[in-house]
Amino acid sequence: MSVLEISDLIVAWDPATPTREPVFATDVIERLRCAGDHRAARIVQRMPAEAGVLEPESVDRLLVRVHTELQRLGEELHMAQRFAELLGPVLAVTRSAGSRSLRVVDIGCGVGYVIRALAATGVLGADVELLGVDMNPVLVAEASRLAVAEGLRCDFMCADAFALDEDATVYISSGVLHHFSADALASFFRAQDRPGTAAFVHYDIAATRLAPVGAWVFHRARMREPLGRHDGVASARRAHGDGTLLAAARQASGMEIFLFEPVRHTNPFCAGMRPVLGIRPELVLGLRHALGRRAKGLVGTGGVHTPTRARR
Ligand SMILES: C[S@@+](CC[C@H](N)C(=O)[O-])C[C@H]1O[C@@H](n2cnc3c(N)ncnc32)[C@H](O)[C@@H]1O
């Protein structure tokens, strides 16, 4: 049976315009019930609706609250530092290879925590432009508002991960891959194999057997919103296995693909977020040098045989 996240169902934007489409509570409740998730159905049942349509302002406020709680989780997991530790070496080898204008684009940035944290510390260097994109204009507006309030040099805009106009030296994301079906992942990665792009670094939940239990404890302790608690566990249940991720990432055929600290090298009790990394083959040696001892954590596509979890 498919695992659904409430946050994917309660809002609908046409990413091309972006125009908001009405979401009928009964449709969402029916989908959740059909998926056997009666608890999620009850959460949606309690949400305000007018003439059967979920109230947009209330949905928006809820999603901003949940993403703000998600930021706290990101802070606790040191997501910005983890990105910086990989992006620093990736950008260093890209600079050495002659790239002048460097740009990092965070896909599905939510309220923009990672991009804002990288901008606040300036850890990647003043020559690196930072941009966050998300298909939800409300989250983009909140990310922009926070960046202005914090006096940061970074930008946010609406974009669909599958129709990206924005060029990047490195594309990144955190907690986004599991929102896409295994079939859609290939086109997600392929779209980032474009001229001028040196690499991508996409962090998501490692699909261990204990990940849902860990997610339950973590989200119970750290999140107040029932939707956030529900979706946190659903995310861990939906997480793609290493095999699925690597097979999809290999569709970016101009990149060499690695997992960094992949599941089989970690304690299943601690495995949390780990990235799939794609990088131009000519930059791999330089990256290994720049990573130093940490290069041991890079495992190429030949080295991982974790079975894909059957789902959806
Ligand atoms: C779990 S949240 C992660 C947010 C943020 N990266 C973080 O770590 O806090 C997933 C985000 O992906 C966005 N998203 C989902 N599908 C997308 C798509 N096709 N294009 C762009 N953003 C998308 C959602 O709007 C949401 O903000």
Torsional class of 19: left (φ above 0), alpha (ψ -120 to 50), beta (otherwise): beta
Nearest C-alpha neighbor of 203 from the set 65, 95, 86: 86
Distance of CA 213 from the midpoint of ligand 1 (Å): 23
Q: Per residue in 243-270, pLDDT tens? A: 999 999 999 999 999 999 866 555 555 5
Distance of CA 178 from the midpoint of ligand 1 (Å): 10
**% of the chain surpassing 70 pLDDT:** 93
Q: What's the pLDDT at 304? A: 43
Distance of CA 242 from the midpoint of ligand 1 (Å): 20
pTM over 0.75: yes
Distance CA 98, CA 195 (A): 14
Ligand 1, atom 8: closest residue by C-alpha: 174
Q: Which of 135, 166, 223, 238 to mutate to test the pocket of ligand 1 (most atoms within 8 A of CB)?
A: 135
The pocket around ligand 1, CB under 6 angstroms, is made up of 67, 70, 74, 107-110, 113, 134-136, 139, 160-162, 174-176, 179
Q: Per residue in 25-65, pLDDT tens? A: 999 999 999 999 999 999 999 999 999 999 999 999 999 99
> CA dist 194 to 73, 129, 166, 246, 295, Å?
32, 18, 11, 18, 25
Distance of CA 134 from the midpoint of ligand 1 (Å): 6
